[in-house]
Copies of this chain bind each other. A is one copy, B any other.
């Protein structure tokens, strides 16, 4: 019997020109260029960190957890789940490994003893910084190739891409200058 793909094989491809499929309407056509650029750019961006993570037997999931624990020390489990948009079962495997390996530590909440507040250990903080530095090197190279206003413009673009429902939470962790800038716009509205 023919295999699944062989069964489907059609006649040889003709040499017909495959051009002439240009957007006739600039305003309503899909923006294929940006879609692909975003895909390739993000793939290579996270790829940097993957190489470093292999040395620790960690994956991208560990990276994300470590990053947000480092950036928001004292984060509770529920808050972390809300950021990552995954289930607690998914988080637990990864978090347990980070705890056991001594990159993150959990303390019971001072005001609410049901909570487990997460903190990076010195070792965890070192790795989180190393990863962020690595990814920043790519940003630095990129902004070295672009006009000076590109960095601000990029941050504006990326923030605008975030779902409105999460926009405020994201903005709350941006550096002060960027926060102020946006608040001014809000006032104008």
Seen from chain A, the residues whose Cβ lies within 8 Å of a Cβ on chain B are: 4-5, 8-15, 18, 29-45, 47, 64, 67, 71, 73-74, 85, 95-96, 99-100, 105-110, 113, 116-117, 119, 129, 132-133, 135-136, 138-142, 145-146, 149-151, 153-163, 166, 170, 173-175, 178
Contact = CB atoms under 8 A, between A and B. Distances in A.
Contacts of A71: 32, 36
Contacts of A116: 5, 9
Given A9-B107, A13-B108, A105-B8, A158 B74 contact: no
Contact of A160 (B73, B133, B142): B142
Nearest to A77: B5
Main secondary structure of the interface of A (DSSP, over half): helix
Contacts of A74: 13, 18
Contacts of A159: 37, 41
Contacts of A109: 12-13
For this chain, the copies found in one complex come to 2
Contact of A35 (B15, B136, B141): B136
Scoring A37, A38, A44, A64 by chain B CB atoms within 10 A of each residue's CB, the highest score goes to A37
B108 A43 contact: no
Nearest to A48: B163
A44 to B, nearest CB: 5
Nearest to A29: B136
A25 B71 CA distance: 17
A32 to B, nearest CB: 6
Contacts of A133: 30
Contacts of A174: 33, 37
